[in-house]
Amino acid sequence: MAEASYVRLERARQMLSLSEMRSRAEKVEVRALENSEFHLFAEIKPISPAEGSFGEFDPVATARSYSSGGATAMSVLTEPTRFGGSLGLMQTVAGTVTTPVMRKDFLVDPYQVWEARAFGADGVLIIARLFDRDSLASMVTAAGDAGLFALVEIFDETDLALIDASWEFGPNLLVGVNSRDLQTLEVRPDVHERVLRVLPSGSVRIAESGVDSVDRVVELRDMGYDGVLVGTSLMRSPDPSDLITRMLAGLAL
């Protein structure tokens, strides 16, 4: 899962040292993830390993549609092998909208956190189970040092053992619960409810995968989640702006 990421990491390091990447990143302004009663992270990805290719699409038009619909953030895939993403795709999206942009990838080293900011990201996804406890803490620290928000992603209760109890969860450090099984790629709806019960107190909780309707968004909000990440249903929608608007409007009913 992360092997290809290490290869990309080494290639990037050969081109720019960490100090050079940090210097470049610090020249890029970061947009804050605003406080919101309910977050909707709208995802841009050319390919879904579970659903296949989404065909030709205009990332600029897609980003503008997401923004006009009311997305509070955008999740942009930069992983090229499984998702068809790239740093260039993220940079294009970040330069198109004022909505904060999160880099979604199999990040394995703090270097890639600074690389994310250098290419326009305002936040990063960090998959907890790719690290041991100390390495995960280093990634979270790097995100804070880079001025980025971090969404720490877990897949089940066992991943929580990697999270330091002293972390201060809040607007810039969120926890995401992904209900997709990484091996079978199947969505397990029960995971969202089961794992929610043991999440860190006070954390901003984002539900990921299987969020495909207005009713599901409302269900997750009522369950106790503070936001959702919506991907495939938006990429397949003929009018993603309308779908986002309806998802958020459904919360007020």
Question: Which of 223, 228, 225 is CA-nearest to residue 212?
Answer: 228
Helices (H), the chain: 3-15, 18-25, 59-69, 87-94, 110-118, 133-145, 190-196, 214-223, 232-236, 240-249
pLDDT of residue 200: 85
Check if the beta carbon of residue 93 is closer than 8 Å to that of residue 63: yes
CA distances from 20 to 12, 76, 240 (A): 11, 24, 38
pLDDT of residue 131: 96
Question: Which of 146, 206, 138 is CA-nearest to residue 171?
Answer: 206
Structure tokens at 19: 């100090």
pLDDT of residue 228: 97
Residues of the chain with pLDDT under 50: none
pLDDT of residue 1: 67
* Tens of pLDDT, residues 108-145: 999 999 999 999 999 999 999 999 999 999 999 999 99
